[in-house]
Structure 1
């Protein structure tokens, strides 16, 4: 191979190899994988296999027929995976329809039965005169069906392209890129335009790197098709203020912090709200967890006792304000005041 062919081989093969790597990465990188991501993995893998076949056939015309069969069989999955990828985006976490499973079961059965009963090695004429027509015809039908699903985005390109998000642009790039790859292969196969066969692999490499670019710029591929997290509802401001007042009143009056077994549920009952509402009130409105909120009250009371009573030991003060061990009291005291009980006592004006 001359230098030009080497560059062409490298660019095409690298794109195909990276396509396999990306599809495997997306398939295994999350425990919770959406249906849309599964179809995207199948699409990338199918295109990669088709491209690998094209690259090696171009540079090695005597490639064994089994590889030609695998490459053409992969084409049978490109159109369906693209179409069902866009269909799956509408599921938003819903179960996969039974009809989809049946369709893909039939596709897999056709590929397997054709490969076993009509192998390329034995029936090359059948593949070149009949099966290839079926493959490209089916691919075209699914491209049209996918285009119908994206018709609103396709219109937006001409009406208001600035309204397209990064994710919208990725969908369009993926669809239009597949259409161009299909056109390149069909025109080359039909002999309409000579010398285009290797344009498919090169264009796929470009499409793949654009996919990675969009992923890095906001079109988060790993979250494709997953249901969006519901927006967290905030507590009404008036209700939050009222509950905070009731909370502080009951804490002071009943000295609830002195109970070492006080739980979030117990405190919620005193002001007649749910534990979830109390937790949200503390976190969103006061910026504190339940344990931090109670510890601050306990340490404030401990500081008062240290200042007013020389007879109580630090351990006794800890028990008095709601701690059931000396170490827990010391840890909480230092966390709240950034000092120890002993140093705090020494810092008091009347300690000298």
Structure 2
């Protein structure tokens, strides 16, 4: 019995310890790559704090109440950091993270000061914890919009990009941990900690595959080897591709490779091969370029517009997505671009 308890403690605590290590890894990695990794780092950090509290409390019911309060309070930030991570990765930018983080952080801090866990165990156990788990669930629901396109691609049996597999794994992992804790009264309190260890190692496995140059885990199923396009086909596809511009099909925010292939009356595989090999870009980047060119024309001819309406009129699904894509492509904000264009026109 003692050996089984030791093994249980080791497995449950291992996830929390490695969660801290991964949190540090992503925090350092964020400086070199993307801002979203900061939110991923903080997500793993608060999850690890919650898990380590569960582990020690399970094996030591007389654990310090302040430690228990910190562990429960950490749950308030799990949902917001999941939401901010997925939103930032999807839309870019730094997002409005202050209102999502500090509002909850200040709220739980004030609550902890006036109603400390040590003096109000029943209130925390029956009311506060339930509210915290409900708030966590609300953010899970809010985050779904950012993995919905991935789910839709799965339904259409399309190949997923590396980042899509990665983000969906993070999202499902957090849901699984939430379920483990929400149903702990019917199972066991240690299930949440064990589930975190299990999920964490799945995520680490994905990370290894993601960073491995030799791995084919995330590779596209369709390969183009020995399927060279002849000159006649190249010319035909090039001509057909102009239909997307002429009909402005790209103005549909949900315009996909599959829809384009149907419109152009060629196979999805052939269109994908042409765009990738001949144009040297992905289909989504090609459509993004069309939308940016449309936005440029609108900026050059229209004077009265809002940034949001300009983005929608160009085919982008949101203002932030439009702003990020435009700035990345031109090096200027839409307002700066219009100003430069107007100035150049006056000189001429």
TM-score (norm 1): 0.57
Counterpart for residue 196 of structure 2:
204
Match of 1:90, SS state, is helix
1:172 maps to 2:168: yes
Alignment partners' CA distance in 2, 1:194 and 1:159: 36
Pairing of 1:1-352 with structure 2 (within 5 A): 2-29=2-29, 31-32=31-32, 34-92=34-92, 94=93, 96-97=94-95, 99-160=96-157, 163-188=159-184, 191=185, 193-195=186-188, 197-218=189-210
Deviation at 1:30, TM superposition (A): 5.4
Secondary structure of 2:62 counterpart: coil
Q: Please name the residue that 1:257 is paired with.
A: none
Aligned mates of 1:30, 1:182 — CA distance in 2: 26
**Structure 1 residue 199, shift from structure 2 partner:** 1.9
Does the 8 Å CA contact 1:166/1:219 hold for their aligned counterparts? Answer: no
Query: Highest relative contact order (Cα 8 Å, sep 6+), 1 or 2?
Result: 1
Give, in whole Å, the separation in 2 of the partners of 1:70 and 1:30.
26
Aligned 8 A contact 2:75 2:136 in 1: yes
Provide the residue aligned with 1:309 in structure 2. Answer: none
The answer to whether the Cα contact below 8 Å between 1:20 and 1:48 also exists between their aligned partners in 2 is yes
TM-score normalised by L of structure 2:
0.57
Contact kept in structure 2, 1:166 and 1:217, CA below 8 Å: no
Q: Aligned equivalents of 2:61 and 2:54: distance in 1?
A: 10
Larger radius of gyration: 1
Q: Give the Cα separation in 2 of the matches to 1:61 and 1:120.
A: 14
Q: Which blocks of at least 5 consecutive residues in structure 2 are unaligned?
A: 213-348
Match of 1:297 in 2: none
Aligned-pair distance for 1:129?
Answer: 2.3
For residues 146 and 52 of structure 2, what CA distance do their matches in structure 1 show? Answer: 29
1:110 counterpart SS class: helix
Q: Give the CA RMSD over aligned residues.
A: 1.9
TM-aligned CA deviation for residue 127 of structure 1: 1.0
Contiguous gaps of at least 5 residues in structure 1: 221-352
Q: How far did residue 33 of structure 1 move?
A: 5.6
What whole-Å deviation, never above 9, does each CA across 1:254-313 have from its counterpart, x for those lacking one?
xxxxxxxxxxxxxxxxxxxxxxxxxxxxxxxxxxxxxxxxxxxxxxxxxxxxxxxxxxxx
Query: What residue number does 2:228 align with?
Result: none
SS at match of 2:44: helix
